[in-house]
Amino acid sequence: MARPVFIVDGSRTPFLKARSGPGPFTPVDLALQCGRPLLARQPFSPTDFDQVILGCVNVIADEMNPARVAALRLGMGEDMVAFTVQINCGSGMQSIDTAYRYIREGHADMILAGGTEALSHAPLVWPNSGVRWFAGLATAKGVAAKLAAAFKLRPRYLKPIIGLERGLTDPITDLNMGQTAEVVGHLFGITRAQSDAYAAESHRRLAHAQGAGFLKGEVETAFSRDGKFFDHDDGVRPDSTAETLAKLRPVFERPWGQVTAGNSSQITDGASWVIVASDAAVAKHRLTPKAAIVDSHWAALDPSIMGLGPVMSATPLLQRNDLTIRDVDTWELNEAFATQVLGCLAAWNDDKFCREILGLDGAAGEIDRERLNVDGGAISLGHPVGTSGNRIVLHLVNAMKRLGTRRGVATECIGGGLGGAMLIEAV
């Protein structure tokens, strides 16, 4: 029989907006900044875990398999099995889901599951023509051959490509992620004013959560090697309004597009961990679970409308558990783009879409905005790709505990045409 699986604790770093050049932390640095205080407050040794699973998309050359590097630097022992998972925006949730399944089936009792991403460290990439020129120069034999190869150099060979820009472009449709949000917005008639109003509200909610201390115990202060400290998500703009955001130009589809820098998620660095445990581990270490993982579901769809991934993944998850949208008290839907979030809400409330695409008897219903992303989301705090899926689960658990709600869903769209959803219940 499947065993119950619990989330007993978790923490994350502040999400730091990428500015000019690489930020103060690599992916593993970030994982350590929130991992050390998390492990230090536990009543057991770091070596008591069975595994470490870490989501990361932008792995840097000096930290291959960052899960293993982080586990060793966290003092978890040389015999600690640790591996990295990658499913784009879902990587941080995939780490939790993999841990959940290992524990549920009896293959482990306690796993440290996380996500980390330093998008500011995304590399510049040489064009293929430049790589071929360097290869020809390196393999040329003799002075004459090397001179001949050198004279073939063209300025365009040395023009670097922004790796992050290519990474955020779908290789099948050749649409970047912002363009896919434009497609979703067009399908459901989302207006620019609606997107800007949603984005402004995200900033207001995060600013309120920070001021009210709602993130205390979730966000750990990070200390860089030059002595600076970072204690809050620094991309929040509490003075944002729909009117000020309306002044920004569309980024992807000018002049008529809906998606701007102001109503999109921010390019950000950050990490997050949760401790996933069986009932046996809870009893052995006398732990107090925060919530139980009930179920999860992954779905796939046309990459050009990847923003509808939450609809395609959360709907079957609810159906399998005999639940409706109205049965969910608290939602965390990752805010890749305001237009995309609003498109998901519109899809669930669209009779034709729900009948023809989801196979329902009619519209699934309307999600109460007071139950959705109650403390803001990626538009205001950022979207470090490999981390966000972990953060939304961690924050969902904490928000449910604070609000006294019983049932929650964390869900996200995933680049490449995927979606992930996880059902959480209070204990």
Q: Looking at the annotation, which residues are catalytic? A: 89, 383, 413
Query: In sequence order, which residues have a C-beta less than 8 Å from that of residue 393 and are 6 or more positions away?
Result: 7, 92, 93, 96, 274, 332, 410, 422, 424
Rounded to 5°, angle at Cα 335 from 101 and 269: 80
DSSP of 218-272:
TBPPEE-TTS-EE-S-TT--TT--HHHHTTSPPSSSTTT-S--STTBPPPEEEEE
- Cα separation, 373 vs 310, whole angstroms: 14
- Cα separation, 420 vs 100, whole angstroms: 14
- Cα separation, 103 vs 117, whole angstroms: 26
Q: Are 182 and 337 in contact (CB under 8 A)?
A: no
Query: In sequence order, which residues have a C-beta less than 8 Å from that of residue 132 and are 6 or more positions away?
Result: none
Dihedral sign, Cα of residue 271, residue 416, residue 413, residue 258: positive
